[in-house]
Structure 1
């Protein structure tokens, strides 16, 4: 058996594996003799079927099976011996591979292509500059949260006119300068919280509307948050900046809720297991929720910006054509409703490529800086997550349930991978905050949302 390889310029390796008769004949003969011993053919006693007949009947299939097994083993061992850092799985090289006839051929050559990971290095030091945003809690944040909670558990009522903090439902339609709907223009049934409207004059016009009445306004003036505007109009974030038209809103309904009273009934509905007894305790619990949410969003944004920074810094090349072919070949095994075409893949590939790039970068950093995750760490994290839930009973019985559920979760590979990913993000955050130059700055939640919105739009435009 002879194996050769050639590295190409586009991060792939072409591998040729050649078998001659002495490489496989002994295994084929042994397999045929075993088949002869087991064969049950009419007119012959068991184990007495002539070898020639067995070879004629089963020779081609046994040959194919034997060479296939040897081929897989040889390819795997060769890739390991050369220390190739591969992407995906080896694919048959359609350009080089010739037709094979196991019935007549004595010598076989198989040609493969493998995708290779790019070689690179990352040094994490103070030359790498990153921002970390600490979101501050506004004085009225608890008041707003409490009002949202009271409305969530309040009672809905019909009203002729909307109030400033109601939700209105209706149809948004793009119009021209004459106020007529634009043919094939933006049109969507949607709902908006009137508190999102920042322009006082436009909000006042909404408050005057009755059901089935309409008003024409400019959405760019009404809404400051581009993500909200994209959602309301049903357009892409990248299209928001260039959307200059007015829209006509036709009111179809008003969602008005009378806030629930602040009492023990509300306490038990909002925080069932916290045994809250008064408004002060409720406000303290809400504040902890807000602080926890803000910390989580700060960390998530740090990771998002870290990923974008390293993707841009490394600018890794990938064997794109190989990866696309590998994705399509694997996708061909999926159910029909999950299959994608080459055109669909081309549209989605940028996101897939960046995800793969980040996986390669993350793997490199974890290897270089020793960021390992043990099963014990995963178990502890699962236990912490379960501990946030109430199982009832005393501490001993609750812990027993947590231990049982933890063991069950550890058997779920998908859940284990998800939790391992969370732990790795925590380790990466700690590593970069320690070694890189991280500029920590305080920011209000409103400014944070505006900033993130602009960065998301800029990123989508860049793609």
Structure 2
């Protein structure tokens, strides 16, 4: 056997694999002998079928199968030994004159080569890393929400601003009939809100769907219409009032504090706000980290310049799935996946250059922490190590879970690396302003 590589250009090559009869004949003969031992052909005892008949019936198929196995194994070994970094898989070049009756065979494969490039994490950029704080406005809103959530529900006869209204949205022609509980402040339309003021149980209020909420997707929730119908829906819907309630806010006393956080943990309104601030900012930190990670990713894709073997990859995409794609479909798929492929190459480069690796102990520890957090949410505050280890073992027996958790751990490692090496500006910001920043 002989394998050679011809460099077409920096990103494309052709590998030629030449196979002689001596390379495949011993294995083909062995397989055919095994076939002979087990063949059931009428007129012959098992194991006594003439070899010529076995050869005639199975020879071509066995030959093709064994040559293809030898070809794939040899090609894979060659790529590893020569340390040839490829994208996609080798693509066999079609040979219209190929003849299985010959003794020696030659196969050619197109290769798409991974580009050479460098990644400069310390390069100048405009990336901002946000420190999201819970301001007084947010803390006061959260205290009011808690007071309402744990307050006393009082039935009313007439709707006033801020009341909870239970009823049914309906429109017979459009098949809408959905029971919900709403408040007048959910509407974007002030005119719609005012229509409910002063209404009583049994009254029907008609409102237009256009501009009713700040997001048409809310029509899916409140009217139970599908996604396509919700967008641009312009009809009138009726709301029949069934109940009117208001909430008497709960007192901010020790009984409420103990119910929320356990006995004696919080003893004052200031303690309560401090606890809310602490819990909120932990969650905010995760969102800020994710935005920072996204921003660094986008910056690296934009600033790290290299060419890809685009034409090869489009040809490979055509044959990579279960169904053959047309050139036009492959072009579309390539356009969708190019950005992700670029970042995958960049990420692999960064991981290699910074020796970022993942071992099983780290994965087990990470899974164990998640499981302890989940158990705590259901009141199991102090599970035994044995219980947690047993759950971890079950979780890590699922390959999909292993992949998902591995990606999360590596994402955390990348975040830590970016925090250390990527130059960025830090900025303190309120949560509402952070949301505005995300929305652009």
Map residues 256-405 of structure 1 onto 2, 5 A cutoff.
258-259=246-247, 261=250, 280=269, 283-332=273-322, 349-388=334-373, 389-390=375-376, 395=382, 398-405=384-391
User: Between Structure 1 and Structure 2, how many residues are aligned?
Assistant: 405
- What per-residue deviation string (whole Å, max 9, x for no partner) do you get for residues 208-227 of structure 1? 1245534699x6xx99xxxx
TM-fit CA distance, 1:368:
0.3
What is the CA–CA distance in structure 1 between the aligned matches of 2:79 and 2:112, rounded to whole Å?
A: 11
Taking a change above 3 Å as real, the CA distance of residues 422 and 193 of structure 1, as seen in their structure-2 partners, is farther
* Paired residues for 1:250-261 under 5 Å: 250=236, 252-253=238-239, 258-259=246-247, 261=250
SS for the counterpart of 1:98 is coil
Matches within 5 A, 1:438-457: 438-454=424-440
Give the whole-Å Cα distance in 2 for the aligned partners of 1:9 and 1:21.
33
The whole-number CA distance in structure 2 between the counterparts of 1:277 and 1:421 is: 38
Determine if contact 2:185/2:193 at 8 Å carries over to the other structure: no
Give the distance between the partners of 1:55 and 1:430, measured in 2 at CA. 63
Counterpart in 1 of 2:67? Answer: 67
Which has the greater radius of gyration? 2
CA distance in 1, matches of 2:322, 2:134: 50
Does the residue aligned with 2:136 lie in a helix, a strand or coil? coil
Q: Distance in 2 between matches of 1:147 and 1:343?
A: 57
TM-score by length of 1: 0.71
Question: Residues 353 and 251 of structure 1: is their aligned pair in 2 closer, same or farther, counting only changes over 3 Å?
Answer: same
Aligned mates of 2:27, 2:364 — CA distance in 1: 47
Query: Is 1:127 the equivalent of 2:113?
Result: no
Find the residue that maps to 1:208 and give its secondary structure: helix
Q: Trace 1:242-257 onto structure 2 (pairs within 5 A).
A: 250=236, 252-253=238-239
What is the CA distance between 1:419 and its match in structure 2? 2.3
Judged with a 3 Å threshold, the aligned counterparts in structure 2 of structure 1 residues 343 and 213 are, in CA distance, closer, same or farther, namely farther
Deviation at 1:297, TM superposition (A): 0.9
Q: Which moved more, 1:355-364 or 1:408-417?
A: 408-417
Unaligned runs of 5+ in 2: 171-177, 197-203, 221-231
Q: Which residue of 1 aligns with 2:27?
A: 27
Instruction: Show CA shifts across 1:305-332 (max 9, x none).
Output: 0010001011443334444454453432
- 1:16-41 alpha-carbon deviations (Å, 9 max, x no partner): 32323333223222322333344344
Distance in 1 separating the partners of 2:317 and 2:260: 46
d(CA) in 1 for partners of 2:349 and 2:357? 12
Deviates more, 1:43-52 or 1:440-449: 43-52
Summarize the Cα distance change of 1:349–1:61 in structure 2 as closer, same or farther, 3 Å threshold. closer
Q: Which residue in 2 is equivalent to 1:213? A: 206
Q: Distance in 2 between matches of 1:78 and 1:92?
A: 16
Aligned partner of residue 195 in structure 2, secondary structure? coil
Residues 256-310 of structure 1 deviation map (CA, whole Å, 9 limit, x = unaligned): 8745746899879977x89978775665543332111110111011001001000
Distance apart, 1:46 and its partner CA: 4.2
1:396-422 alpha-carbon deviations (Å, 9 max, x no partner)? x53321111112222222222222222
Ranges in structure 1 where 5+ consecutive residues have no aligned partner:
172-188, 235-245, 334-338, 455-463
Match of 2:96 in 1: 98
- State the distance in 2 between where 1:62 and 1:408 align: 42
TM-aligned CA deviation for residue 119 of structure 1: 1.5
SS of the residue 2:283 aligns to: helix
Distance (Å, rounded) in 2 between the aligned partners of 1:268 and 1:322: 65
Q: What are the superposed Cα offsets for residues 425-463 of structure 1, whole Å, 9 maximum, x if unpaired?
A: 222222222223221011121111111111xxxxxxxxx
Equivalent of 1:110 in 99, 107, 110: 107
Q: 1:35 to 1:431 in 2, by over 3 A?
A: same
Instruction: Report the equivalent of 1:237.
Output: none
2:393 to 384, 407, 411: 407
Verify the 8 A CA contact 1:170 1:249 in the aligned structure 2.
no
Deviation, structure 1 residue 362? 1.1
TM-score by length of 2: 0.75
Pairwise CA RMSD: 4.3
- The 3 A distance-change label for structure 1 pair 13 and 442 is same
- Summarize the Cα distance change of 1:33–1:340 in structure 2 as closer, same or farther, 3 Å threshold: closer
